[in-house]
Amino acid sequence: MPEHRVAVVGASGFAGALCAVLVERHPSLELVAATARADAGRRLDELYPRHRVSRELEAFEADRIAGQADAALVAYPHGASAPVVAGLLERGLKVVDLSADFRLGLDLYEHHYGRHGAPELLGEAVYGLPELHREEVTGARLVAAPGCYPTAALLALAPLRDLIEDAVVDAKSGVSGAGREASQTTHFVSVAENVSAYGVEGHRHRAELDQELGQGSRITFTPHLLPIDQGLLASCYVRPSRELSKDDVRELFENAYAEEPFVELVASPPGVRDVRETNLCRVHATVEPATGRVLVFAVIDNLWKGAAGQAVQDLNLMLGLDEREGLS
């Protein structure tokens, strides 16, 4: 018996569509609307045959959505999201926003993304990484789901937070992370048999690391594009501020994650495929004997724990549900 009525705004993109699927299958949620801009009028399973959700996409209209839903997952591009979120909050909905619009403080945001459309809401927005901010998420009416790269990198680095002298995050993502828009970058022929770094002099996702870890200038973050569709690996190389043994590291991670339902500590470097189509983050942490560096490898499915899955996890918390519901 669904207890909560949920709308997905921007359901034609990869993350939004998966939001719709997850809400549709969720035992305590009812999918009452799925909106799209260019694709309004088409059925979701036309765009994504594999998803088998036959709901028709509709144009967004705040009043209608507010009449139908108690909560919304908003999966618009940054910039477009803020005003829509503001309109839904005003009408009394709880909102999880998947864009960057509510992840950062105003200064960081405007530095990386330009003018903000609803700066008055930044004060109450909660950064929706439950493993770090579970309590705030639980009480929030506006949660910003973290970026896919920061999700993996933060889960890898958070247990070491006060011990990072400097760190390198070499992150690798499947193509779905680049979104549904067709471009030379996402053309099969560009991606097949290829791999390369991009955004090497300052990817926007680093701002989230800086904000959450407070390490600013000492963390290098470099994303790479992989010839796979879903999956993200953050390989993190930390120079610790004091010598750490393997046992120290194991203890730090076990303390941090022993109770976490979606973080699995494993004994060897995980493959991204081990978590495909799940909301899990698998983490392997160790110490390189020759250098004393702490090496942490964290894998997620960028569309699940890196986007839609995490948004549903946040929503579960906001609605007082078990955060695992609908995600296993």
Q: Catalogue the active-site residues.
A: 148
- Report the nearest approach of a copy of itself to the CB of residue 321 (Å): 21
**What is the Cα–Cα distance from 295 to 270, expressed in whole angstroms?**
13
| 193 secondary structure, DSSP code | T
Helix (H, G, I), strand (E, B) or coil at 144: strand
* Distant-in-sequence, close-in-space partners of 222: CB < 8 Å, separation ≥ 6: 168, 169, 170, 171, 197, 199, 200, 203
Which residue's structure tokens are 């060897």? Answer: 268
* Distant-in-sequence, close-in-space partners of 198: CB < 8 Å, separation ≥ 6: 223, 224, 225
Strand order in the sheet with 142-144: 29-35, 4-9, 71-74, 94-97, 142-144, 126-127
Contact of 37 with 10, CB cutoff 8 Å: yes
Residues that bind a copy of itself (CB under 8 A): 14, 49-50, 166, 168, 170, 172, 174-176, 180, 182-184, 186-198, 200-202, 206, 216-220, 222, 224, 226-231, 233, 235, 237, 239, 266, 269-277, 284, 286, 288-291, 293, 295, 297, 299
**What is the Cα–Cα distance from 141 to 162, expressed in whole angstroms?**
30
Residue placing its CB nearer to a copy of itself in the complex, 126 or 152: 152
Contact of 250 with 295, CB cutoff 8 Å: no
Residue placing its CB nearer to a copy of itself in the complex, 68 or 278: 278
